[in-house]
Amino acid sequence: MAKIVIDPISRIEGHLKIEVVVENGVVKDAHSSGTLFRGFEIFMKGHHPLDAQHYTQRICGVCPVSHGVTSVLNLDSALGVAGQIPDNGRIIRNLIQGANYVQSHILHFYHLAALDYVDVTAAADYTGNDLGLLKVKKFIERALSANDLAMLGPFWPRYEGDYRLSKAVNQKATADYVKALDMRRLAHEMATIFFGRIPHGPGLTAGGVTQGPTDLNIEQFRTKLKILRDFTDNVYIPDVIAVAEAYSDHFDQGFGCGKVLSYGVFDLDSNADLTKRRRVLPNGVADANLNLTAFNPQFITEDVKYGWFDSSSGHPSGTDTIDNHNKSGAYSWLKAPRYNGEVHEVGPLPRVLVAYLAGDPTVQQMVNDTLGHFGAGPSALFSTLGRHAARALECKIVADAMDKWLDELKVGDPWNVPIEIPDSAEGMGLWEAPRGALGHWISIKNGVIDRYQCVVPSTWNCSPRDDRDQPGAIEQSLIGAKVRDEENPFEVVRIVRAFDPCLACAVHLVRPNGDTIGEYRIA
């Protein structure tokens, strides 16, 4: 019996420690540990409520838009304007979030996960004219001539021994890796048209958004979107299928907890009750037997038995965050969110599966056509490759939807409504970041924030064991996995990265003259 410790897992957002115990080539036990403390819930107390959407965007540098939208939904609820958001405001929020989804999904596949499958050394002896591949070839040559493999990051260090794609496919995928950098830049530029800047933009506000549509900004957005839709249809999805054809055994790896949860995302109306609001990807709870049930936010709890916290377990609207790094038996800075007392996975897999089971014909056809190529049904989504497939298909769903939303904008119509800050109120924002279900809860007293709680996607997926000792979603995905080479545990990192964990973002404090004061990494 051997213990494999990977600390930190590279090519994810933030710092995550994974420990697995392997016996006879099978993972018998697993622990997932978040190793940084966030603390936003503590320092936001006493601030003006409208500061919330600006502060919470700083939780993450990759998905700030999701925190921003969730926070303004939370404030809409607390300020009593959730049912009054103008169509332009609702649609522009969707467009800002949609641009972030496309950027994040391309980032995840090409620049975080694909290097577990694609052998970039195939570019070392490339003799063609592709500029991207030639740049990678020169990048490798510089490192080798300097005899410094550290210069090869992010391509090195890496595990060895299980790269199965042909040389031609490896070279194409490496060229697409370079193209994907341009696509991410384009998606960022698209978001800034309505968001103002990326990351951490000023374009969102309680009651709507801060700028409305014009003929010019609609056309600018559509021009960039056309290029991204073409890349998604003709490069991203075909590359995911090419990888799946070579690693089809990974449809049998990483099953997980077998239960999924979606809050729903991309509003189609402004119903004051978020649980009844129509969304492109609806809310719901489903399982691997393809049963779909209604979602009830009152069933959400956070357990703290194995987290470094002294606060109590319970619903996020009534609990606090009190840290204690010396707590005996704890092993993570993450709490353990549960739905109705059970472990649930969140992310693209849950969103696509819930939409599929809810009867969305477009989603059903896309899932059936893609998984049918491998002789599999929708239950195959519960796997390492299934998570990648769901993310790629969702990228197309969102990109196609954005083109339609642009047609629904009305130049000259309002894009926000007036707001007033109450002396006391409570609110709830439920949304979906690219990585999964995201919830914010606020209590306002004496006109300032009295309590704020954020339950983020990777808290669900990367959680430690809960008060009933149930392992978290990633921990359950690892238990039972086959590991062919303990020195090169590809299977472990492939399973973990398929969840797209997001543990932290980096913040630097500098003086006006540019001198570094300190560097802080916030989970």
Phi and psi angles of residue 443, each rounded to the nearest 5 degrees, phi first: -120, 130
Whether the CB-CB separation of 165 and 117 falls below 8 Å is answered with yes
Catalytic residue among 13, 302, 394, 432: 13
Catalytic residue among 435, 465, 494, 497: 435
Whether the CB-CB separation of 109 and 494 falls below 8 Å is answered with no
Q: CB-based burial of residue 424 (10 Å sphere; 0-12 exposed, 13-18 middle, 19+ buried)?
A: exposed
Using DSSP's 3-state secondary structure scheme, residue 315 falls into: coil
Q: How far is CA 28 from the centre of its chain?
A: 28
Whether the CB-CB separation of 263 and 275 falls below 8 Å is answered with no
Query: Which amino acid is present at 412?
Result: G
Structure tokens at 190: 């698209």
Whether the CB-CB separation of 237 and 110 falls below 8 Å is answered with no
Using DSSP's 3-state secondary structure scheme, residue 101 falls into: helix
Residue 458 a catalytic site member: yes
Residue 435 a catalytic site member: yes
Residue 454 a catalytic site member: no
Catalytic residue among 31, 38, 54, 67: 67
Whether the CB-CB separation of 280 and 499 falls below 8 Å is answered with no
Residue 67 a catalytic site member: yes
Whether the CB-CB separation of 497 and 107 falls below 8 Å is answered with no
Q: Length of the chain, please?
A: 523
Residue 60 a catalytic site member: yes
Catalytic residue among 41, 60, 338, 432: 60
Whether the CB-CB separation of 443 and 47 falls below 8 Å is answered with no
Residues 480-509 as b/e (b if ≥16 CB within 10 A, e otherwise) read ebebeeeeebbbbbbbbbbbbbbbbbeeee
Structure tokens at 251: 């449809």
Catalytic residue among 77, 458, 463, 477: 458
Q: Where are the alpha helices (DSSP H) in 283-360?
A: 348-357
Residue 462 a catalytic site member: no
Structure tokens at 195: 């968001």
Catalytic residues: 13, 60, 63, 67, 435, 458, 502, 505
